[in-house]
Amino acid sequence: MAKRVFLAGASGAIGRRLVPQLVNAGYSVVATTRSTGKMNLIAALGGEPTVLDALDSSAVAHAVARAKPDVIINQLTDLSAMMTASEDRVIESNARLRKEATRNLVDAALANKVSFVVSQSIAWIYAPGQLPHHGGAELDVKAPGLRGVSACGVATLEELTLRTRGIEGAVLRYGHFYGPGTWSEDAAAQPAVYVDAAARATVLAIERNARGIFNIAEPNAFIATDRAKSILGWDWRFRSKLKSSKGAAL
């Protein structure tokens, strides 16, 4: 079992739930954030905080070399401006992060002989087709407007994770998050997934040495999740029993 994890994007909605799960499972977690103000939060969750701009290739290379991880987890998103910036700006920024930051992480993995990468993807960007969509179904990269921009960013992230020579990867196509620290406490848009269960799938992907694409969502009519159940042993009903340093359930 890999023991040292480099988690890019540790202060986001899923990262905050994932760090303590990894620590509880016995991993040492180097956890990145763009903000110095979130370092104490990461430390309280049990991670080793590292401030990092994932779009800075040299900074990423240095951080990964220093961390010496067995596995890299890419949970990077750029949604912090959702409340203040226009939708097109947020989606374009997020697509850029998926493309460029994933390239930086993969390059750093190759340079440091890290052969396993797990990346966050999304499960609502499939091209029109027969339902339910399986992991091998095409993404909607030809869609007009912002949907196409988002799909192309996702497609690049997945290609880098799964097709880079020297890297074996797992792509987790998450449904819409709900639960603590997300946009909603209750499931709304489908496909949906509770944030603790999404984080659990990430832990299982490492523990099972999983490869390929997995849809991670609660039962729904849009996507098939049988692969996550059979290969990862994932249960969409998972809720974390861990406690934070302040005693709140995680």
For residue range 162-203, list pLDDT tens digits in order.
Answer: 999 999 999 999 999 999 989 888 877 899 999 999 999 999
Provide the 8-state DSSP code for 138: P
DSSP reduced 3-state for 72? strand
Q: Which residue has the tokens 């709304």?
A: 188
Contact 74, 8 (CB under 8 A): yes
User: Is 163 among the domain residues?
Assistant: yes
Please state, rounded to an integer, the average pLDDT across all residues of the chain. Answer: 92
The one-letter amino acid code at 224 reads A
Q: Which residues pair with 249 in a beta bridge?
A: 243
User: Is 242 among the domain residues?
Assistant: no
- CA angle 239/243/249 to nearest 5° reads 50
Considering Cα of 171, then 190, then 244, then 36, what sign does the dihedral take? positive
Q: Which residues pair with 216 in a beta bridge?
A: 174
Q: Is the pLDDT higher at 82 or at 141?
A: 141
Contact 129, 136 (CB under 8 A): no
- Distances in whole angstroms, Cα of residue 118 to Cα of each of 40, 161, 199, 215: 25, 7, 12, 13
Strands 168-174, 116-122: parallel, antiparallel or unpaired by DSSP?
Answer: parallel
User: Is 227 among the domain residues?
Assistant: yes
- Distances in whole angstroms, Cα of residue 140 to Cα of each of 23, 129, 174, 195: 36, 10, 16, 25
Query: Could you read off the pLDDT of 107-131 as tens digits, one per residue?
Result: 999 999 999 999 999 999 999 999 9
Residue-range definition of the domain harbouring residue 25: 4-232
Q: Please state whether the predicted TM-score (pTM) of the whole model is above 0.85.
A: yes
> What is the pLDDT at residue 117?
98
Q: How far apart are CA 191 and CA 223, in angstroms?
A: 7
CATH at 127:
3.40.50.720
Full DSSP string of 94-134: HHHIIIIIHHHHHHHHHHTT--EEEEEEESS-BPS-SSSBP
Q: How many domains is the chain partitioned into structurally? A: 1
Question: What proportion of the chain, given as a percentage, has pLDDT over 70?
Answer: 93
